Structure formats: structure tokens, C-alpha cells
Amino acid sequence: MEKFDYARGYKFSTYATWWIRQAMSRALADQARTIRVPVHVVELINRVVRVQRRMLQERGYEPTPQEVAAHLDLPPERIGEVLRLAQEPVSLHAPVGEEDDVALGDLIEDGDAASPVESAAFLLLREHLEAVLSTLGERERKVVQLRYGLADGRPRTLEEIGRIFGVTRERIRQIESKTLNKLRDHAFADQLRGYLD
């Protein structure tokens, strides 16, 4: 309102329409997307999309990023970036197909998860280890489990194990060494070596 100058001969409605349109487009740019993109980038996205549509209507085929870049006088790499930013994110909970019982996230592989083959091999290894360890005495088994973290996934030092048993770390080292020699000669040792490959 402050900038409107009636002396220039324009109607207020003409002036107001432009400002209202700009305010609406700014509000949409700021709030409509799931991930906020700066207003100037949204305006560039809109320009690129408008040029793409116009070129598609005129030529009858989808223009390449190079053609759009030449039309807008921008580098083709910038057009590629803008087109990537224009894509809306898709929810992992979005239903896939006719039925609503399968979500997109159910179809995406978890790279960190173990494969069924790896899981089965791990379970077999664990069973073989339990079988081998069951042939040891109570103290020997506990020392090996603590030393290599077989019980809880946290390997302990000789000193920590010595404190648990109330003996020196040298005594724990001797027990460990004797136990490992016993395990090397065990009938299951060859099967366990197969897991190292």
C-alpha cells in the first residue's frame, strides 16, 4: 500500500494483483514442499518446468537438459541440479500396487541387514562353538567367552578377566593358551576353520 502511487495512472487493483500473486507464490515456495527449498531456487525450478512444458508442446518431445539450458542461458549441470531438486520425496509408507498391504519401504533392501545365508551360517557357527565350548571345563569356557566376547559381544582384557576370577592376568593368559591348544586339537576344529573362509 505504501508504495502505490495513484499519480502514475495505474489502478490499485493492477498493483495489488501483482503483490498478492507474489505473496502467494512465496508462501507456497516456503511451505508447500516437504523439504524446504529456498524461494529463488523454487522460482528457478518453476522457470525450468515452464520452459520444458513449452518446448514439449512446440516440438512434441521431451527436451534434453542441454536444450533447456541453452534456452535459459544456464549451464546444463545447473539444469540437472534443478531437476533433481524439483522431485518430491516419496514416503516409505506409501502403498505400492493395487492393494494397500505393501508399502514402498517393504520393497527396499536394507544393506546393513544380514542376508538369510549369512544368518544361517552365523547360527551354525554359534551351534558349533557351543558344542566345542561344552567340552571345556567351566573356568576354561568362561575365560574364552570373556576373552573373545562370545557371551555379550564385548571382548575383555586379560586384566579384566583376572579381576573377575581373582587371579593375575598372567594366570589368565596361561589358562587361555592351554584352552586354545585344546581347541586346536578338537574334532570340531576343522569345521570351525571352514567359517574363516
Measured distance CA(159)–CA(68) in Å, rounded: 69
pLDDT for residue 165: 92
The topology under which CATH files domain 116-194 is Arc Repressor Mutant, subunit A (1.10.10)
Q: Give the helix/strand (H/E) hosting 131.
A: helix 116-133
pLDDT for residue 55: 92
pLDDT tens for 113-145 read 777 888 888 788 788 788 888 888 899 989 988
pLDDT for residue 196: 62
Measured distance CA(147)–CA(142) in Å, rounded: 8
pLDDT tens for 55-93 read 999 989 999 989 999 989 999 899 888 888 888 888 888
95 φ/ψ angles, rounded to the nearest 5 degrees: -70, 145
Give residue 193's pLDDT band: very low, low, confident or very high (50, 70, 90): low
pLDDT for residue 159: 94
Supply the mean pLDDT for the chain: 83
pLDDT at 197 over 60: no
Question: Greater confidence, 21 or 187?
Answer: 21
Beta bridge partners of 103: 95
Give residue 190's pLDDT band: very low, low, confident or very high (50, 70, 90): low
Q: Where are the domains of the chain?
A: 1-32, 46-88, 116-194
Please name the residues in contact with 12: beta carbons below 8 A apart, sequence gap of 6 or more. Answer: 4, 6
How many other CB atoms sit within 10 Å of the CB of residue 177? 10
Opening angle at CA 163, ends 157 and 165, nearest 5: 105
